[in-house]
Structure 1
Amino acid sequence: MDSSPPRTPFMWRFMLVLARIVVAPLCRLRVSGTVPAELRGRPLILAANHVSPFDPIVMTAACHKARIAPRILATGGIFDAPIAGAAMRAAGHIRVDRNTAHVADALPAAAQALRDGAMVLVYPEGRIGLDPWMWPERGKTGVARMAALAGAPVLPVAQWGAHAVLPYETPKRLLPSLLRALRRRPVVHVRFGDAPVDLTGVTGTAGAQAMQATRLIMDGIHDTLAALRPGEMETPHHIDRTRPPDLSRVRPRRPAGNPISRP
């Protein structure tokens, strides 16, 4: 039986290159860290924070730079668009119909992709985060459940600065935002974590384990992000004033660099 990872569809390879072309005039992309060699070519979940509508394009460009091609869990609305939807399906990405009866369908689809040897990228927050200080929010448990179903490790990924290219309100005032980005070319960072999140100590029922694992995954993303914003630990240098703050999903924060405590 062939255990090699699935072949990357041509459309996804094209989109990876296209993202680098799109990103170049709009920002200065800086990619740090990498996916360790021992995690390549095997099931792996990349769990990233979400700060801007520009994130998926930035992350695609960063993946091309890192020489990886994960399948992405993306909102169903993109799949319904005439051109983008066809491209997403041809690229092999996975649809997530949030706030519908079909939202649970994405979990077994992603777990099967992982069991088939794919790398999968997901935003555990399930939306652009609305933490007032732009730290990761409390995550949804889908990523932890996906990891448990497929037996796949979770590598945290952090991105920072894309909100200076496209603000939360996009597509409203899209043209002024693009013109401003073309003029300023802000620095946008993507950092791949140093190691997978250690989930070996979670205990209890399946639900309790998912909640504990989710907290650890979000802690891992938080620590990876902290390395990208050392002078912005409280208030970001660039403030997206179109972003409505929401305190309902704010996570307790600890000083950066403190070890992750078990729940």
Structure 2
Amino acid sequence: MPRRRIGFWYRFAAVLCKPPLVVLIKRDWRGMENIPAEGGFITAVNHNSHIDPLAYAHYQYNTGRVPRFLAKSGLFKKGFVGAAMRGTGQIPVYRETTDALSAFRAAIDAVERGECVAFYPEGTLTRDPGQWPMTGKTGAARVALQTRCPVIPIAQWGANEVLPPYATRPDLLPRKTHRVLAGPPVDLSRFHDREMTPELLKEATEVIMAAITRLLEEIRGEKAPGATYDPRQERIEQRRTTTAQNGRTQRVTAEQEEGQST
């Protein structure tokens, strides 16, 4: 299947964005040979800075296979931003749908047309204290198993040194290096021809996230923690702590009121 043309809008965005990126950030980019030259595929990328979509898009733009990011459907509706999102071929996600597969129908269609669809499987900026990849959501695995397209794991590091997660002010000096390493396709063949249950999608997602983490270990020159940070588990623990604290407060209040009444 032939690749899609980059097109006017993507080239226009590159003209606007590439010069400041080149000036502000050095580059150590590897693994471009693992980006498929033809046909549809998925890239699964770690997310540790609000500016890393631009830095990563710069990397992949230079491979000739521009990424189509998933974005909220509302961004496509109005003004210049909407025109740019539509013109660059970004993929709207209609979050109001209740069917998980339908929510990614546009991504499946794009892959089947020969596009590259870029996923941030974590779904948000990492909350891991060491900025390692967190547990992933199952969207990338779902699209990959539905289409049987290649999944290219990609690790990046450096944009987070310019703008750390949840920071509001960039640190531009000294000039930072954006490091990217793309690995070979993740082998998901053992999940083919099986019922797409939540358990299977979770297992396939763990395989994808493990591949990204190994690449990030190579970039950083250190080992990731043994346990993967799970924000859902963290929220559960926070709720338990809050409930326990509220329970203790209520007991103390009740004991004080009882003491005052006697």
Correspondent of 1:227 among 195, 218, 228: 218
Q: Which 4+ stretches in 1 moved above 6 angstroms? A: none
What's the offset of the Cα at 1:133? 1.5
Q: Which amino acid aligns with 1:227?
A: E
Deviation sequence 1:65-112 (CA, Å, 0-9, x none): 3332121223446446743332111111112355x4478444110101
Q: CA RMSD, aligned part only?
A: 2.5
Cα distance in 1 for residues equivalent to 2:131 and 2:181: 16
- 1:189 matches 2:186: no
8 Å contact 1:164–1:186 — kept in the other structure?
yes
Q: How does 1:104-253 map to 2 (within 5 A)?
A: 104=100, 105-170=102-167, 173=168, 176-177=169-170, 180-181=171-172, 183-193=173-183, 195-202=184-191, 205-207=195-197, 208-231=199-222, 233=224, 247-248=231-232
Cα distance in 2 for residues equivalent to 1:51 and 1:8: 27
- The 3 A distance-change label for structure 1 pair 149 and 187 is same
Correspondent of 1:62 among 54, 59, 63: 59
Q: Which amino acid aligns with 1:87?
A: A
- The 3 A distance-change label for structure 1 pair 232 and 222 is closer
Percent identical among aligned pairs is: 34
Cα distance in 1 for residues equivalent to 2:74 and 2:23: 27
Cα distance in 2 for residues equivalent to 1:166 and 1:18: 20
Q: How does 1:1-20 map to 2 (within 5 A)?
A: 3-20=1-18
- The 3 A distance-change label for structure 1 pair 169 and 83 is farther
Higher deviation after alignment, 43-52 or 66-75: 66-75
| Structure with max Cα Rg | 2
Unpaired segments ≥5 residues, structure 2: 235-262
SS of the residue 2:43 aligns to: strand
Q: Which amino acid aligns with 1:215?
A: E
- The 3 A distance-change label for structure 1 pair 246 and 118 is closer
Q: Which amino acid aligns with 1:44?
A: F
Higher deviation after alignment, 183-192 or 52-61: 183-192
In structure 2, what is the equivalent of residue 25 of structure 1? Answer: 23
Tell me the TM-score normalized by structure 1: 0.77
Tell me the TM-score normalized by structure 2: 0.77
Unpaired segments ≥5 residues, structure 1: 235-244, 251-263
Cα distance in 2 for residues equivalent to 1:224 and 1:67: 22
